[in-house]
Amino acid sequence: MTPNEEWGLTGKVAIVTGGGAVGDGIGNGRAACILLARAGAHVLVVDRDIALAERTVAMIAEEGGSAAAASYDVTRSSECEAMVKDAVARWGRLDCLDNNVGIGSKGTVVEETEENWARVMHVNVDTMFLSCKHAIPAMIKTAGGGSIVTISSISALRPRGLTAYSVSKGAVIALTQAMAVDHGPDNIRANCVFPGPVYTPMVYARGMTDQARDSRRKASVMGKEGNGWDIGMAVRFLLSEQARFITGQVLGVDGGATLVGPARASQ
């Protein structure tokens, strides 16, 4: 692999949480891992299931890229701290963090249980808080700054019967913008990507019907759905030097779905 120098990522170190995917499927995290490696970064691929992370690393190795697999529970502060120390121990610095971990949920505030509400907030928001809490000091110390991307969702801006999920993804946007303000003086950039109707392993593993998939396609003003590569390319851009003057922004990768009226979840 000959790194693409235009991204300014050669020799930099990135952590991608949720970097695995089932089989050879291309999810948001795996796509980001591969694209960052193609740009010359060293990538720590983190996934709860080490086998999924190892497959991502193998795909990167097949192209001659640099990556390592690791399993950490990013719902735990101590594990996030160990994850950051792992990346620094391997490559001597930390420059980038891509936060992909998240789970879905359905139901209104009346239908939702308190237990599941707390679980969704813990997985979707706390993981990003904890990862960033430990990554930011390491970026400042080892690299003189860095860049963070969080993954939100179109549901944060267009609620559709997924109340706990929508609220959690809205919190991700607020967290990202708060970090951009708080740590801009430290040369830390923080931006957020919200995917629209993208077809990824996490989506089709739930057994999406043809009718539901067609409905998602029609939600885009372009009349088509996106995929993990679309999200990964947005992440690579925001983490790269090409976005050096961009921080606190929320980038929709949704085929224009937020330009039209909301539709409640169909599955």
Q: Which residues are catalytic?
A: 165
Local structure of 135: helix, strand or coil: helix
**8 A C-beta contact, residue 178 and residue 171:** no
Q: Which residue has the tokens 């009349």?
A: 223
In whole angstroms, what is the distance from residue 136 CA to residue 126 CA? Answer: 15
In whole angstroms, what is the distance from residue 168 CA to residue 69 CA? Answer: 27
Task: Give me the long-range contacts of 92-95 (CB less than 8 A, separation at least 24).
Answer: 92/13, 92/142, 93/12, 93/13, 93/142, 93/143, 94/13, 94/15, 94/135, 94/138, 94/139, 94/142, 94/143, 94/146, 95/9, 95/12, 95/13, 95/14, 95/41, 95/139, 95/143, 95/146, 95/147
In whole angstroms, what is the distance from residue 53 CA to residue 34 CA? Answer: 12
Closest among 142, 234, 161 to 194, alpha carbons compared: 234
